[in-house]
Amino acid sequence: MKKPAILLIGPTGSGKTPLGEYIAAKGLFKKHFSHFDFGELLRTTAAGTRACDLSAADIRRLQDILDSGALLEKETFYLAERIISHFNATTAAEAVVLNGLPRHQQQAQDVSPWFDIRLVVRLQCDAQTVVDRIQTNAGRDRTSRVDDHVTLIEKKLAIFDSRTAPLCDWFTTKGVAVAEVSVKVDTQPENIVACLEEKMGDFAL
């Protein structure tokens, strides 16, 4: 059975992970959520600290994808499927907040057997704010990150603009609500949730 889901969309450093953790801890729209942090799941799987039934070759492929900042495409999406299956088997939450997946239209179609995305939260954050948030660790989630050097940040921002941001329009054509929230250097998850509750009211997930 597909789980109802909220999808967080925003550039690297915009606060998706702290927001996902906050929603999982506090709930939203009177629902209890699990946080599907795909980036963190990829990193722990690639490091060999999470059992997802992947071969040594698959682990090396994941490591290469992480090192290059690339996205999973159709031919490598089976890696995401293994991670999703393991996640769903180990969570009992009634809804999911998705962070880091899907990141382009093909992925959105590929995750549909597992998740029923009913709301997209777009975190609006310009490039300089991204850099400032990462450098100051505004979301308090960058301490163990090894992918925050300038070149990779720039590549991630370019990929976000060309591949991920257009998902908002795509979901709109599918009748999915999109809520946009402006993120500043000092914006915290509770600020975003307050804005969402004001914008969406008693949204029925």
pLDDT in tens, 111-121: 999 999 999 99
Show the tokens assigned to 64: 């290469």
Cα distance between residue 137 and residue 25, in whole Å: 21
DSSP per residue over 6-17, as a string?
Answer: EEEE--TTSSHH
pTM confidence score: 0.89
Domains assigned to the chain: 3-199 (3.40.50.300)
DSSP per residue over 56-97, as a string?
Answer: HHHHHHHHHHHHHTPPP-GGGHHHHHHHHHHHHHT---SEEE
pLDDT in tens, 148-190: 566 788 888 999 999 999 999 999 999 999 999 999 999 999 9
